[in-house]
Amino acid sequence: MSETKKCPYCSGVIKSAAIKCKHCKSMIDEVINNESKTIELSQEKAYGDQTMYLQEEAKCPYCHKSLSKAPSRKSKCPNCGETFYVRTRPSDRKKVIVTEDGIKDIELAWEQYHAAQEAKDLESMPDNISNYEKSRRLAQIAISRKENDKAWGYFNQATGEAAQAGKFRKYRFIRYEMAEQLISEGRHKQALDFLCEVLYLDICGIADSLFIWEINNPLIDSAKTGSLVPRVVKYTRVLIKEMELSKDEFQQIALTACENIYRGFKGPLPPNDAMPVLLEVAFGEAFPENIELPILKKNN
């Protein structure tokens, strides 16, 4: 009788009496000699040499023993003590149980999937559109596929590109779309942050690449240039009620949001000067067209 044998899982040479493989650490006290049964056992999918099982199979990817129930998150195997993870693979969107090293292979597979998907999506877009518009459209496509995490990456990329290009109006439009998406996800605090930015830009007035103030008649030294959008006002009031914010709480949120735009884009209106309008938008009942906007004065 041979003093050695091959591990049925990794094919490493081990002693005949071994009950645990020294190579892959698998428990082999229940060795399956029948080749057809071994194949049946190995229905798990693999990336490289890392083994994984479908979540529904409920088996440890280290020792290959059955688990009492299908895991839904990171867990420790009661048989071998190894920690395994649950991830979704891109090929069929099924959840799989993987080793720690197997996570890297899953992440790489997702990167390759997203890169191929993005290349395909970009092919359908006109060549003459701006980078920020491409990123914005990719975000909308991702949302339609319910890939929200991916969408936020594109949204952030789009706003960064629009800001770098000095396209305030496009920045404002994308920021508003982001607020709508946050509302649909139930993330009301973040949505209100973005709506306050949008309101500040609307109060100041924006053109394609400038605040409207900068392209007004140079012979006058003050003007009202902005206008409020009813839908933005409505969303803001709804969120205030749902979040049950006080005026002081809202004012703190609004000041922080407006300060980012005021400093980043060199806005014409200090945030404190915009606050009376923002408070009326948030807590008043007047129609947007009846809310008095501040007069912007030139800085001499």
Per-residue pLDDT band for 73 (boundaries 50, 70, 90) equals very high
CB neighbours of 126 closer than 8 A, spacing ≥ 6? none
Instruction: Tell whether the model's pLDDT for residue 70 goes beyond 70.
Output: yes
Model confidence at 49, pLDDT cuts 50, 70, 90, reads: very low
Rounded to whole angstroms, how far apart are CA atoms 222 and 212?
12
Sign of CA dihedral 161, 167, 173, 176: positive
CA 200 – CA 258 distance, rounded (Å): 6
Contact yes or no for 243/193 (Cβ under 8 A) = no
pLDDT at 271 over 60: yes
Q: Cα dihedral sign for 166, 263, 155, 113? A: positive
86 token code pair: 């649950």
Tokens of 40: 């049946």
Q: What is the share, in percent, of the chain residues with pLDDT greater than 90?
A: 49
| pLDDT at residue 42 tops 60 | no
User: Most distant CA pair in the chain: distance in Å?
Assistant: 105
DSSP state of 251: H
pLDDT at 76: 94
**Are the beta carbons of 77 and 69 closer than 8 angstroms?**
no
Look up the pTM and report it.
Answer: 0.64
Angstrom distance (rounded) from CA 232 to CA 224 = 19
When pLDDT is cut at 50, 70 and 90, the band that residue 222 belongs to is: very low
Q: What does the alpha-carbon distance between residue 4 and residue 71 come to, in Å, rounded to a whole number?
A: 35
CA-nearest of 164, 163, 117 to 141 is: 117
Which residue is it, tokens 């990123």? 135
Better pLDDT: 293 or 248:
248
- Residues 296, 300: Cα–Cα separation, whole Å: 13
Task: Order the strands of the 50-54 sheet from edge to edge.
Answer: 45-47, 50-54, 95-98, 83-88, 75-76
Return the pLDDT at 300.
44
